[in-house]
Amino acid sequence: MTFVGYGVHGGGPSDSTADAVRSYVNGISASQAGIGNYIELLGSVLFLVFAAFLYSFTRAANPERLNWIPTVGLVAAAAYVGVVVVAAAGQQVVVEWGKAGADPKTVLGAYILVQDAFTLSFELAALFLVAVGVALFNAGLLLRLLGAAAIVIAAIVFASGLIGTASIESGIPQTGFLLFDLWTLVAAVYLFIRPSLPEPSRST
C-alpha cells in the first residue's frame, strides 16, 4: 500500500528548492495527491495491525520474561505511525497551498517539514526493530534469526535517518526505509504462515 500510494502522488519534488516544489505542485492534482497519501497511509495502518500481532506473538513466546520489551516495540510502532500521519498531512498541505497560490518559500517550508518528519521517524522505526529483535532472543532458531536481522536493520535505519536529517538532499534514507519495509514484509509472511504460536519458554 505504501508504495502504491507513493506511485499515485509521485513521491515529492525532485529537489529541496522553491522551483522544484512549484514544478511538483504544477504536475499533480490535489485529488491525486489526496488519494495517494490516503493509500500510503493505509499501508501504515496495516503496519500498526502487524505490530499489534507481533506484540501478542512475542508475549506468547516469552510469557514470563522481558514482557516490557514487546510493549516498547508496540509503543514505538504507534508513535512511528503517528509521525507518518503528520508527514502525509504535510504532503497534502504542500500541494493544496501550492495550488492556492501560496508563497513558494512557504510551500518549500512545508515540504522540508515533511522530509524532516520522514527521516526523524526512523528513530522510532529503529526502536521498534530493536525491541522485536530482543523479544525474539528466546524463541526458536528461525525466529532468533529474524530478530537478529531486525537489530542489524535497526542500526542501518537509525544511521540512514541520522544522515537524512543532517542532509536533506541525501538519498541514503531511502535505503533504510526499503530495508525496514522488506523486513516487515518477510516477517509478516513468515509469522502468518506459521501453523501456531511457539510454545512458551520455560526456565530450568
CB 114 within 8 A of CB 94: yes
For residues 83 and 121, give the distance between their C-alpha atoms in angstroms, rounded to a whole number.
6
- In this predicted structure, the answer to whether residue 11 has a pLDDT above a threshold of 70 is no
In a domain, 75, yes or no: yes
Q: How many CB atoms lie under 10 A from the CB of residue 100?
A: 10
- In this predicted structure, the answer to whether residue 76 has a pLDDT above a threshold of 90 is yes
pLDDT of residue 182: 93
Q: How many CB atoms lie under 10 A from the CB of residue 106?
A: 14
- Crossing angle for the helix pair 141-166 and 172-193, to the nearest 10 degrees: 160
For residues 62 and 82, give the distance between their C-alpha atoms in angstroms, rounded to a whole number.
28
Sign of the Cα torsion 124, 126, 127, 131 reads positive
pLDDT one-digit tens code per residue, 152-178: 999 999 999 898 888 777 778 888 889
For residues 201 and 189, give the distance between their C-alpha atoms in angstroms, rounded to a whole number.
23
CB 141 within 8 A of CB 75: no
Return phi, psi of residue 7, to 5°: -65, -35
Q: How many CB atoms lie under 10 A from the CB of residue 202?
A: 7
For residues 58 and 133, give the distance between their C-alpha atoms in angstroms, rounded to a whole number.
10
Residue at grid coordinates 524532516: 116
In a domain, 11, yes or no: yes
- In this predicted structure, the answer to whether residue 204 has a pLDDT above a threshold of 80 is no
- In this predicted structure, the answer to whether residue 97 has a pLDDT above a threshold of 80 is yes
Contacts of residue 20, defined as CB under 8 A and 6 or more positions apart, other chains included, come to 13, 14
Q: How many domains does the chain have?
A: 1
In a domain, 200, yes or no: no
In a domain, 199, yes or no: no
Average pLDDT value over all residues in the chain: 82
In a domain, 159, yes or no: yes
Q: Which domain holds residue 87?
A: 2-193
Q: Burial-class residue 1 by CB neighbours within 10 Å (0-12, 13-18, 19+).
A: middle
In a domain, 203, yes or no: no
In a domain, 202, yes or no: no
